[in-house]
Amino acid sequence: MEEKDYKLIKKAIKGNKNAFERLLKKNYEQIYRTAYLYVHNKEDALDIVQEATYQALISIHTLKHPEYFMTWFTKIIIRCAGQVLSRRENIVSLTEGISFKLNSDIGVVDNDSLYIIEAIGKLKENYRTPIILFYYHDYSIKTISKMMNIPEGTVKTYLSRGKAELKKKFERERSYG
């Protein structure tokens, strides 16, 4: 983390709304993509970003370690996305493309990225969250463990099972399509 970002976060924690706004603008793309990976629809992703931003703004004073700002914010996004998904009965099809580096781990090419992202959205929550955090955000197993409040071994299991489920779905799709 850059010293400049660290100082901005410290200011935001102390109540400086301009500093918080600058942090939000700097990290907006990552924040939006995280929300989008969960809901696969622009409107819901924007709603999640708005709600997560509000929740972060009113609770930033509780952030004890400025270096974990994005980890903390990502937890808020995940919680908001979970609320949206629990209200929704069906998953909306993906309409925008996002390249996802998970492809190499399960043996697919870029043309299949859209299908993979859609398939990730259909995974069980306990598999989907570690997959997104590990492969999309490059969080370590240890960090994911802390974010999800589960043992590291469980994170590894969820990653392994999630990848296996994605691979199975992809191979099934490949054989039919």
- Which residues fall within 8 angstroms of residue 133, CB to CB, at 6 or more apart? 74, 139, 143, 144, 147
Pull the structure tokens for residue 108: 């697919």
In the block, residue with structure tokens 């191979």: 171
Fold of domain 97-177 = Arc Repressor Mutant, subunit A (1.10.10)
Share of the chain above pLDDT 70, in %: 82
Q: Give the pLDDT confidence score for residue 32 in this predicted structure.
A: 94
CATH among 1.20.1050.10, 3.40.640.10, 3.30.420.240, 1.10.1740.10 for 1-94: 1.10.1740.10
Q: Give the pLDDT confidence score for residue 85 in this predicted structure.
A: 79
CA 83 from centroid of its chain's CA atoms: 14
| In contact, 130 and 159? CB cutoff 8 Å | yes
Residue 138, phi-psi category: left (phi > 0), alpha (psi -120 to 50), beta (remainder)? left
Give the CA dihedral 101, 106, 110, 114, nearest 10 degrees. Answer: -90
Report yes or no on whether pTM surpasses 0.75. no
**Letter for the amino acid at 112?**
D
CB-based burial, 66-98: b 16+ in 10 Å, e otherwise: bebbbbbbbbbbbebbeebbeeeeeeeebeeee
For residue range 103-146, list pLDDT tens digits in order: 445 444 455 666 777 788 888 888 998 998 888 888 899 999 98
User: Could you state, in order of their start, the residue ranges of all structural domains in the chain?
Assistant: 1-94, 97-177
| In contact, 15 and 61? CB cutoff 8 Å | yes
For residue range 61-81, list pLDDT tens digits in order: 999 999 999 999 999 999 999
Query: What does the mean pLDDT of the chain come to?
Result: 82
